[in-house]
Structures are given as structure tokens and as C-alpha cells.
Structure 1
Amino acid sequence: MAAPQSSPRRVAHQMLDRITGEGRLMSELLAAGALDRLEPADRARAQRLALDTLRGLERADRLLERHLRKNPPLSVRNMLRLATVEICMGGDAHGVVNEAVAIVGQDKRTGALKGMVNAVLRKIAAEGPAAWVKLRVPRLPKWLRAPLVEAYGAPAVAAMEAVHFATPPLDLTPRGPATDVAAAVGGIVLPTGSVRLGAAGQVTSLPGYDSGDWWVQDAAAAIPARVLAAQPGEAVLDMCAAPGGKTMQLAAAGARVTALDLSEARMARVAANLARTGLQATLVVGDALEHDGRYDAILLDAPCSATGTIRRHPDLPHAKDGSDFGALIDLQARMLDHALGLLKPGGRLIYCTCSLLPDEGECQIEEALESHPGLVVDRDALARPGVDPAWITPEGGLRLRPDVWAEQGGLDGFYIACLRM
């Protein structure tokens, strides 16, 4: 028998199985070619189906538990989840149900359950859409929600979860005037200078992509380089550079940029992005803890839990459980110590993480200040266009949360601090 033909739903289902069953991140699956079997037009649809399902997983499970006598195997549950989310979000119930039944039926391990899948999904098609909108906004898992509630309070976390549940907009960092890029792509200019689009479609087809007029970068992720404010001719180290958004910002400012990253494959993306935009940087593949040199300024976007990116990466709470965060926090401290030793006298360092956990942000800076006599936090560096003084934390960093500018689609969670020796 010929192998079943790939389709967006089938591939989305396979990705869900690997994320929820194997703890794989979607970025890993995409890098490994999860979408390669699909035609280009279907790749975005498969990814969207998987992301929508992950965002709506709690609601889907609440609807399904009304019709399931016992818990089916994970692969079958994931097919039910995907179909439930698609139906409740306005998908064609007939087509969704038929393909879901076919996918389950074609697998020898689950084929006997296709009748159950058909019966449950027909009930979902009849009752689900009306019930869907009455359910609460899906919550973060307890392992992550509890420390965030402790840090920010339950109302703030609920506001973040509401942003997580919505499909995020697309942000671009312009190489030239933001107003020109916004006019070309049909976006708006955010107060910090990024350009935001509500529905971008295929990124590579947007005006200005081929000519390198902009690159994709969340508006929060663009702020650290703006706080660094690299000057023409300065020697600047982008210490964990991939995929290169900050490297391009620094190079566009005229700095002599060294982009450092441990991954050769990820550094290839940096090289490709630089080539498209016509910007230049020295690329170094290596361990940041072993790097040597002297720099006027350093940008350390340290490896972290990435909990601030859940609005764009809803797979993270389902693929991770927080067990590796302790090792990350230790690595951040060691990298920050090493980076400070690479600064020229009077130099400045931006420490940032795309994390919502204070242990990866505020606490790191407090401990660094205690460990390094003469080290100070430069609060004045934070006075950049669009930066709200309310975001400044007691120790002098910036705390960005997903519920910032929620009406416009929110921001990634980030922590940013500027240090001077």
C-alpha cells in the first residue's frame, strides 16, 4: 500500500505528537524539515494549525472530556484536539472530520478508534463552536503559572494569558525610515520604531524583503540593541548572535560587529540574513565562555527559558516542564561574568533575556552588582523612544511583558539592563 499523502492537517498532527509526546520544540522540528514534504503554499497552513491547537489545547480538552469515556492514546487525542480547535475556529466541519477519521484509520496502531473519532467529532461539530467561546482563556501550566503569579500577581498573569491566546502580529525592524517600510507593507509604526503587521501572509513576498529593507524581529527583541545605541566605528560583540536580528541592528548603526554563536547551523542563518540586507559583520562560531577580545560594547542575549516568547511559541509550555531552568540560570551568570571581562575600560554591556522569570533577569543583575565592585546600572540608557518609564524596575532594568500594548497585539516578555564598568 502506498504511503498516505502528506497534507497540512497530517503534518500538523505529526508535529503535535512530537511536541506533546517527545518534548520537542517546534523550532527543532522545522529545522529538521517537518514541513519539507509539503508544497510551499501548505507549509504556513500546517504550522498555523499546530500553533492554533497548542494555544487552544485547554479549551479543546474541556470540550472533548464531555464526550470521551476514557482517555485515548496521545496520537488520537491530538487528532481530536486539532480537529476540535479547527472546527470551533470556523473550519469546514465536514472536511475536518473526514480527514481526521482517515488519518486515525490509516495508522495500524489507532485504526480501531476511527469510529469513536467520527462520533466524537460530529458531536463537537454540532455543539462545540457555541461552547468554545464560553470557556475561559487557556491558562499556563502550573509549573510556570505559579512563579509568574508570585512575581506579578494573578491579574497580570491573566492579562498575559489573554495575549498568549491570540494570534500574534508580525513585527519588522526597518533598516531605514520606519514610515517608508510601514507604507510599503501596510503596517503601523510602533512607538519604539518597529513596524507591525496584523496579517502578513507569506513573509518573503512582502515588499522590501528581497532588497533587505527590513527583517523579522519582535518589537521587544529590537529594544536591547536600541538601548545599547552602538556608534559608528565602535567594536561591538553580539555574544549570542543567532538568528541575527540584533547583529543587523548593530551593523546598520555603523559599528564593527563581531557576531558570536555556538551553533554553526544557526550562524549560517545569520550569514544569510546579513547577505540579504547587505550588512557586514565578522562571524565567529564558538563557545562564548571561551571567547577572548576587547570591546567597546557587548550585547549578551543570554540563553534562557524563552518563557517570554510563548505568544509566538505556544509549544514551549507543552514541550518543557522547567526542570532545566536551573542550569540555564547558572549559565547566564557565568556568561555575564565572562562578558564583563571582555569590556574595555568605560565600556557598556547589555544583558537581556526573553524570559518572564525574575531569576533570569532582575536577580541576575542584583547578583552581578554585588559580585563586581564598580559595576553600575546605566538607567539613562533606557531613555529611548517609546520606552515607558513604568517598565523600569527597582534595580534599573526594563521589564517587558506580553500584556504591554495588549490592544495592539502585545510584546514578547523581555528583561533588559545596561551595565557599565
Structure 2
Amino acid sequence: MADQSTQPAGNPQAGIPARRSAIAMLDQIQDEGRLMAELIGSGMLDRLDAPDRARAQRLASDTLRGLERADRVLKKHLNKVPPLTVLNALRLGTVELCNGGAAHGVVNDLVQIIGRHKRYGHLKGLVNAVLRKVAATGPEQWAALRVPRLPKWLRNPLADAWGAEAMLAMEAAHFAGAPLDLSVKGDADAVAQAVNGKVLTTGSVRVTDAGQVSALAGFEAGDWWVQDAAAAIPARLLQAQSGTRVLDLCAAPGGKTLQLAATGADVTAVDISDSRLGRLRENLTRTGLFATVQAGDVLDLQGSWPAILLDAPCSATGTIRRHPDLPHAKDGSEFGGLIDLQARMIDHAWGLLEAGGRMVYCTCSLLPDEGEVQVIEALERHGDMSVDRDALAVPGIDAEWVTAEGGLRLRPDYWADIGGMDGFYIAVLRKER
């Protein structure tokens, strides 16, 4: 799980920038409730070169996934809890050491990082002593510890929804992390061969131990874009045709927009965040695809379209295997507001859909209130709405994923033997003529 690389010969401080940045991210995620994507988007890692940016993200993510285990390992070596920055340095070091990191490089770097800290430099001796003890006894203890659990504010509602056994399986998937999935503009088999990946039954290409994304074959040529296999299913279910006018709502960061554009559809992509749309514009340029991109509030949009994809704002609880910062940055207090917003967006989008048209509603959430319940209640509000079960009959879709009301429920523990998938809810909705 953890990054096990050591410093290149001749450069004894090569690991310091990435480790220092990872600690800084951990501090802000836990102390200020900021998400890693937000921190990266604000330029926190811009001063690092590409390999160190990737390494800092990987170190921070590995530490968050193993936080519970790290704290249990550290507990026997600490008389009292040190300041958060020092604690996060110890946690990061513990995760690295317990997953095969070279003690010399890990310990020396973290001692130097804390030693140079203006407020906590006097604690470098503590860091040195504790991590050397962890290096000696931690790996054996680590292996015997349970899979880290989600915080109760999230674990309880998910266990209520899916049961204790499924909850444990999802936590195991979160701890394992996620391989890299690619959506492909052209020949999936050719891309899979070029990147040493495999084509999944749903058409995505999966790469294990991918390393630096921008260094993979086909990146510069725009042959593919990064998108979890589960996240690629909603656009496939919309079955957009060349020339069809499609409205992609809440489009950023744009993976689904690219999929729709690749079919030749006439796509209008709308998102409230112009800054987040920047990544979509960059990927459209890189891949040579076209879509009309506009920043604005979905609820203010007017017009009519024969096909709509609504990827509504949600708790993102289905993405924890790729975004382990979420349970540590959030507390669930925003769930109620998101659920209300989703219902309003469904109603507004339904008013934009032409008679006889189809709309895909989806959320990257594991909470039924953001998925199954939203569709059940929407069906009650709109007499001209029906669920199109037949639209789910596409390659790679397991019949057991289909829900009682006719939607699709995906979970992180599905495909566990090949790396799992993000949690998603998807429903294809038809409007009567």
C-alpha cells in the first residue's frame, strides 16, 4: 500500500519535498476540513516537480488509509499525543516503515523535516526515537491489526443500508486503494497494450501500479483520460448518438463530457465552478474532442434537450477508495442540504427534458437517500417519468446490481478480486411523449 521508494543515490534529501508536502496536506485535511483535491487545485503542490507531486499525493493517501493502524502502532511509543504536525509526521513514517520503507531514508527525512520546523523543531528527537522503535517492531504489529474502519458518522448509516458484512467488505476495498482506470477515445485493446493494462467488461482500461499518469503512453496524444470504471457507466447508459443534443449537468471535472463528445454527440457541459471546468477544457484540447462548456447554476438553466445527464452534487461517499481524505475532512453535516439540492436539480432538469427524451441521474454516493430514494420520490412527483430498466442491458452490467426501482447500485466491494470500483447510483429515466 505505502510508497516504498528510497532516495536516489547521491541525493540524500530527495525524499524531503514530497514528505513535507504530504504532512502539510494531512494537517489541513484534518485541522481545517479541506479536501485533497481542493488543496491541489489551489496550487499547494505546484512547486514540486511531477514525480514529487505524485509521490506527495500517494504518501498522504496511504497515510489516511492506514491512519487507524498507524495510531495503534504509535500508541505504545507515546506518553502523550504530540502536536498535529508532529503526529502526522509520525503517522506518515509509520505507514511507510510498516509497508517496507527503508528505515534510514524515512526516519532521516522526517527528523530533518520536524527539526527545521519553527515551532516543533525541539521535537525532532521524539520523532527519531519513536520511528526507530516503529521500524524495529511496527511491521509485525501492523500486519495483525484489523482493517481500518470508517468513522461512526459514516459507518453507521452505511451499515444500516447494506449490512455489517457488506460494510466490512467496503472498508477492505477502501483500505486496498484503487488502481487507475482509463476511458478510451478509440481502441481500448490498443490502449491496454500500450499502458500494460487490461480491458474491463464495461470497456474501461485498468492499470495497476501506474505511476505518474502523464508519463503513460497515449497521454500526450489524448488517447484516453482518467475515469473510474464505475464513473464511466452513466454516460454509456445514456447511449448518446452522433449529432444528438446532450446536456451534461454538473459536468466538472469532465470525464462524462469527454465520453459523450467521443460519440459525436452535440454536448453542452454546464457546471457552477468555472475553475473546475478548466480541467475539462484542458482535457478537451488534449483529446481533440469538442463540447460547449459554460459556467453557471444548473437551476437557472433554460431550454430543452432530448438527452440529459445529471451527475448531481453528493456526499461522494462512493469515492473513498480513491479519496481517503473524505472521512477525515467531513462529518456528514452537509448531507441534508445535498439531498434537498439533488431533488431540486432532478425537478429542474426534468423540466428541461423534451417529451420522449431520456435522462440519466447519478451520484457517486453509497447513501440510498442520494440514490434509490431520490428516484422513488421523483417518480411520485412526476407522472410522466418512468425508469428504463432495459437501458441497463449493456456489456459488463451484473443483473445483481439492478435495484428494486430499476436503478443500478454499484459498491466498492464489487469486483474485489480485480481492484473494486467506486460506489455509484445510476438510473435511466424516460419522459412520456
Q: Distance in 1 between matches of 2:283 and 2:163?
A: 39
389, 397, 416: which one pairs with 2:426? 416
Asked if residue 255 in structure 1 is aligned to residue 303 in structure 2, the reply is: no
Q: Distance in 2 between matches of 1:281 and 1:201?
A: 30
Asked if residue 321 in structure 1 is aligned to residue 336 in structure 2, the reply is: no
Cα shift at 1:355? 0.5
Asked if residue 223 in structure 1 is aligned to residue 237 in structure 2, the reply is: no
Q: Deviation string for 1:269-315 (max 9, x for gaps)?
A: 11111111111111111100000111011000000111000000000
SS in structure 2 at match of 1:420 = strand
Asked if residue 275 in structure 1 is aligned to residue 285 in structure 2, the reply is: yes
2:76 — aligned with what? 66
408, 414, 417: which one pairs with 1:398? 408
Q: Which amino acid aligns with 2:321?
A: R
2:351 — aligned with what? 341
Q: Is the 8 A contact 2:16 2:110 kept in 1?
A: no
Q: Distance in 2 between matches of 1:397 and 1:164?
A: 24
2:28 — aligned with what? 18
Q: Is the 8 A contact 2:16 2:109 kept in 1?
A: no
SS in structure 1 at match of 2:202 = coil
Q: Which amino acid aligns with 2:318?
A: G
1:107 — aligned with what? 117
Asked if residue 163 in structure 1 is aligned to residue 173 in structure 2, the reply is: yes
Deviates more, 1:203-212 or 1:341-350: 203-212
Q: Deviation string for 1:151-172 (max 9, x for gaps)?
A: 0011111111111111311001
2:103 — aligned with what? 93
Cα shift at 1:40? 2.1
Q: Which amino acid aligns with 1:357?
A: L
Q: Deviation string for 1:96-129 (max 9, x for gaps)?
A: 1122222222223222322222221111111001
For structure 2, list consecutive stretches of 5 or more residues without a partner in the other structure: 1-14
Asked if residue 125 in structure 1 is aligned to residue 113 in structure 2, the reply is: no
Q: Which amino acid aligns with 1:168?
A: A
For structure 1, list consecutive stretches of 5 or more residues without a partner in the other structure: none
Q: Deviation string for 1:167-210 (max 9, x for gaps)?
A: 31100111112112111211101010100000212222222212
372, 376, 387: which one pairs with 1:362? 372
Cα shift at 1:33? 1.2
CA root-mean-square deviation: 1.1
Q: Is the 8 A contact 1:6 1:37 kept in 2?
A: no
Q: Deviation string for 1:31-71 (max 9, x for gaps)?
A: 11111122222111111111110000000000111111111
Q: Distance in 1 between matches of 2:251 and 2:403?
A: 26
Q: Is the 8 A contact 2:63 2:92 kept in 1?
A: yes
Q: Distance in 1 between matches of 2:365 and 2:300?
A: 25
SS in structure 2 at match of 1:293 = coil
Q: Is the 8 A contact 1:347 1:420 kept in 2?
A: yes
143, 147, 157: which one pairs with 1:137? 147
Q: Distance in 1 between matches of 2:223 and 2:48?
A: 29
Q: Distance in 1 between matches of 2:215 and 2:91?
A: 32
Q: Distance in 2 between matches of 1:123 and 1:182?
A: 43
Q: Distance in 2 between matches of 1:341 and 1:262?
A: 19
Cα distance change on mapping 1:40 and 1:98 into 2, 3 Å: same
173, 176, 179: which one pairs with 2:183? 173
Cα shift at 1:267? 1.3
Q: Distance in 2 between matches of 1:239 and 1:92?
A: 47
SS in structure 2 at match of 1:7 = helix
2:392 — aligned with what? 382
1:265 — aligned with what? 275
SS in structure 1 at match of 2:144 = coil
2:163 — aligned with what? 153
SS in structure 2 at match of 1:133 = helix
Q: Is the 8 A contact 1:236 1:257 kept in 2?
A: yes
Number of matched pairs: 417
Q: Which amino acid aligns with 2:73?
A: L
SS in structure 1 at match of 2:307 = strand
SS in structure 2 at match of 1:137 = coil
2:342 — aligned with what? 332
Q: Which amino acid aligns with 1:240?
A: C
Instruction: Calculate the TM-score normalised by the size of structure 1.
Output: 0.97
Q: Which amino acid aligns with 2:117?
A: D
Q: Distance in 2 between matches of 1:170 and 1:262?
A: 27
Q: Is the 8 A contact 1:165 1:311 kept in 2?
A: yes
Cα shift at 1:6? 6.0
Q: Distance in 1 between matches of 2:16 and 2:138?
A: 27
Q: Which amino acid aligns with 2:390?
A: D
Cα shift at 1:242? 0.9
Q: Distance in 2 between matches of 1:81 and 1:206?
A: 31
